[in-house]
């Protein structure tokens, strides 16, 4: 079997996509190439994910996510972390940016910065992150390198709620990916990303059901 096409061992059962009274109002944060951001927007555009991306925030001027936002016609704000005196100061700015755009929940789609309680507490249970491992294994930087050197034979990706602790928080959804004997970091990364692009929109929809139900209960 072509290892590039090897199916995920376990995939979340993607059932009927939930519909909401009005589309989820999302903010997205990205630092890298932005493929997960685009996967979210593609799921919205094809009618699966009932949501709207109000704004993308990037922290690197030259990142691919910014180019994708321009091509997709999504508002993009640059917040260069080097221009803020502290992480907290930057997070206050992010909160203001998202609140000004009427964002109800935020997806960290490859955000390579530690966030603080300033941002986490502004979106309690409504701040999601995607990580390229089956958490709680291989937290932190270079999750794929860590897993390749550990000898495990299965890895994957996780979408979780963000707590004030790196790569921790209630798990929303996971997909597992086998590690093949001839795997390289690049090939494994590519296979994990295929699953990430399926997982992130679905996990956002699942979390969205919880956010909207909680909001309705609170009146």
Judged by CB under 6 A, the stretch of 26-34, 45-53, 116-124, 205-213 that binds ligand GRF is: 26-34
Residue 131 annotated as catalytic? yes
Q: Looking at beta carbons only, is 183 or 196 nearer to ligand GRF?
A: 196
The correct pick among 196, 201, 202, 203 for binding ligand GRF (CB under 6 A) is 196
Q: How far apart are CA 207 and CA 195, in angstroms?
A: 18
Asked if 172 contacts 125 with a C-beta cutoff of 8 angstroms, the reply is no
Peptide bond into 134 cis (omega under 30): no
Minimum distance, C-beta of residue 37 to ligand GRF, in the bound complex (Å): 6
Which of the residues 148 through 167 are near ligand GRF (CB under 6 A)?
157
For residue 119, the 8-state DSSP code is: H
Q: Does 35 bind ligand GRF (CB under 6 A)?
A: yes
Given 53, 76, 110, 201, the residue binding ligand GRF (CB under 6 A)? 110
> What's the min distance (Å) between Cβ of 218 and ligand GRF?
31
* Residue 28 interacting with ligand GRF (CB under 6 A): no
Whole-angstrom Cα distance, residue 41 to residue 25? 12
Residues 6+ apart with CB under 8 A from 66: 34, 56, 58, 60, 76, 78
- Between the alpha carbon of residue 57 and those of residues 13, 79, 106, 110, 205, the distances in Å are 30, 7, 10, 11, 21
Both structure tokens of 27: 């903010």
d(CA 56, CA 98): 9
Q: Measured from the CB atom, is 97 or 193 closer to ligand GRF?
A: 193
Pick from 32, 101, 146, 168 the residue near ligand GRF by CB under 6 A.
Answer: 32
C-alpha span between 181 and 137 (Å, rounded): 20
Catalytic residue among 81, 92, 131, 160: 131
Tell me: does residue 131 bind ligand GRF (CB under 6 A). Answer: yes
Answer for which of 27, 34, 201, 208 binds ligand GRF (CB under 6 A) is: 34
Q: Does 59 bind ligand GRF (CB under 6 A)?
A: no
- Write the burial class of residue 57 (CB in 10 Å: 0-12 exposed, 13-18 middle, 19+ buried): buried
Query: Which residues carry out catalysis?
Result: 131
Positions touching ligand GRF (CB under 6 A) are 30, 32-36, 109-110, 130-132, 157, 193, 196
């Amino acid at each position: 079997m072509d290892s590039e096409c090897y199916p995920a061992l376990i995939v979340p059962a993607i059932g009927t996509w939930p519909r909401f009274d009005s589309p989820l109002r999302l903010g997205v944060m990205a630092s890298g190439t932005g493929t997960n951001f685009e996967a979210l927007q593609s799921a919205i555009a094809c009618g699966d994910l009932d949501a709207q991306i109000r704004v993308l925030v990037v922290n690197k001027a030259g990142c691919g996510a910014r180019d994708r936002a321009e091509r997709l016609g999504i508002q993009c704000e640059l917040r260069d972390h080097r221009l803020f005196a502290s992480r907290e100061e930057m997070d206050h700015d992010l909160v203001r940016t998202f609140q000004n755009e009427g964002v109800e929940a935020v997806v960290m789609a490859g955000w390579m910065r530690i966030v603080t309680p300033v941002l986490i507490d502004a979106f309690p249970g409504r701040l999601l992150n995607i990580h390229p491992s089956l958490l709680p294994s291989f937290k932190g930087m270079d999750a794929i390198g860590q897993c390749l050197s550990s000898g495990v034979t299965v890895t994957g990706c996780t979408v979780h709620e963000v707590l004030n602790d790196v790569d921790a928080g209630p798990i929303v959804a996971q997909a597992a990916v086998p590690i093949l004997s001839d795997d390289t970091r690049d090939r494994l990364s590519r296979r994990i990303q295929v699953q990430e692009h399926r997982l992130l929109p679905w996990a956002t929809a699942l979390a969205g059901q919880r956010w909207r139900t909680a909001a309705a209960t609170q009146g």
